[in-house]
Amino acid sequence: MSLMFNLKEKLADLESKYKELNREISDPEVINDIDRYQKLLKKHAKLKEIVDKYEEYKRVLSGIEEARAVLAGNEDQEVKELAKMELEELEPQRERLEEVLPVMLLPEDPNDEKNVIVEIRAGAGGDEAGLFAADLYRMYTRYAESKGWKTEVMSANSSGIGGFKEIIFTVEGDDVFSKLKYESGVHRVQRVPTTESSGRIHTSTATVAVLPEAEEVELEIDPNELRIDVYRSSGPGGQSVNTTDSAVRITHIPTGLVVSCQDEKSQHKNKAKAMRILRARLKEMYERERQAEIDETRKSQVGTGDRSEKIRTYNFPQGRVSDHRINFTVHKLDQILDGDLDIVIEELIKEDTLKRMQKV
C-alpha cells in the first residue's frame, strides 16, 4: 500500500500539531488546570505514537534515496553491494510503515476512550438463559480484570438458581469502549443445561448492550422532564429486603425510558446509579438516531451494535466459539469464557479496520 490520499500532508500537519501541543503542556497555566492537562497529555501520547512512526518513515525514505543514489553514481562494486544490501533491508520497512501509517490516521470513534455501562439480559431459554447471562457477566469481569479495569454492579435481578434475569454493571479504565463496543447483540449458547435430565442440547440466548457512559457536560437532562418514584426494594419472590423506601425508579417523560435501582441501601446512591444508566441510554438513543441518518456508514461497520443482531455462538459440545459477523471460529471456548476475549476482539478490530480503510 502506498501513502496516497495526501497522507504525507496529513502527517506533516499532525507533526506541527504535536509540536504545538508540546508547547501547550509545558505552559504553567495549563499544568495548573488538572482536567485540561490530563486531556492534553492523553492527546499528546496518541499523537506522539503517530509522529514517531512518521519520523521512522522519513528516515527509511531518506535511507532508500541515499542507497539508490550510491547505486546510480558509484563504480566501486563493494560500495554498490553495501548499498544493495541496505535497500534490501529498507524496502520491507517502507512497505510495513506504508501499511501501518494509514491505519493510524483513521478517524477515531469519539466514544473509544469512554467507560461503559454493560447490560446483560436473559433471552430465550428460561433458567438456562439466566445461567448463560451469569456466564457472560463472569466472562466480562474476568476480561476487565486482565486489562486492569474496574467493574461495579449497578443493578441485578437474579433468577434464584445462580443466574440473572438482568444485570447492569459499569466498566472503568483506559479505552474500555474501544474493545467492548463489539459485544452488543444477541449471544447464543448451545449446551446440555444442568436442569435437563435427558441430556439433550438446548439453545438459549442472552442480550448484551454496551453503552458508552455519558458525562453530565455531554448530556444535560432537564430535571422537569424526570419523574422519580421511591419504593421499598424487594428480593426474589417479591419479599421486602429493606424497611425504608430506598429503591428508586426514574422515568424520562419525553422518551418514556425507565430505569430502576435498588441494590444500595441508600436512596441517594440508588438515584445516582439510576441517573448514570439513564444518561448512557439516552446518549445511545440519540446516537442511534444520528446513525440512522448515515445508514450506509453504519452498515459498513463490523456489527451495528443492534441488540437484535445475533453475533456469536458458544457451542459447548464442540468447545467452539463462532462470531457470525466475521465468520470467525475458534475452539477455545473455556479460555474465552474465562475472560480471554482478545482472541475474538482482536479479529473484530482487524476486520473493522479493513472495512474502514476501504471507505477512505
- Does 7-104 carry CATH code 1.20.58? yes
Residue 360 neighbours by CB distance under 10 Å = 12
Secondary structure of residue 220 in the 3-state scheme: coil
**Domain residue spans of the chain:** 7-104, 116-215+307-359, 223-291
Give CA–CA dist 125/200, Å, rounded.
13
- Collect all residues with Cβ–Cβ distance below 8 Å to 86 and sequence separation of at least 6: 63, 67
The DSSP-derived string for 285-305 is: HHHHHHHHHTHHHHHHSS---
Q: Is the dihedral of CA 183, 184, 190, 191 positive or negative?
A: positive
Angle between helices 7-24 and 34-73 (to 10 degrees): 140
Using a 10 angstrom Cβ sphere, with 0-12 exposed, 13-18 middle and 19 or more buried, the burial of residue 100 is: middle
Give the residue among 99, 19, 15, 24 at the shortest CA–CA distance from 51: 15
Give residue 332's pLDDT.
96
> Hey, how many other C-beta atoms are within 10 angstroms of the C-beta on 107?
7
CATH placement of domain 223-291:
3.30.160.20
Per-residue pLDDT of the chain (360 residues; tens, 9 = 90+): 444 456 777 888 888 889 999 899 988 888 888 888 888 888 888 889 889 999 999 999 999 999 999 888 777 788 888 989 999 999 999 988 888 888 788 777 788 889 999 999 999 888 899 999 999 999 999 999 999 999 999 989 888 788 999 999 999 998 899 999 999 999 999 998 876 767 788 999 999 999 998 876 677 888 899 999 988 776 554 444 455 678 899 999 999 999 998 888 888 889 989 998 998 999 888 888 877 765 554 454 555 445 567 999 999 999 999 999 999 999 999 999 999 999 999 999 988 888 877 665
At 172, the amino acid letter reads E
Q: How far apart are CA 55 and CA 60, in angstroms?
A: 9
CATH second-level architecture of 116-215+307-359? 2-Layer Sandwich (3.30)
What nine digits make up the cell of 267?
436512596
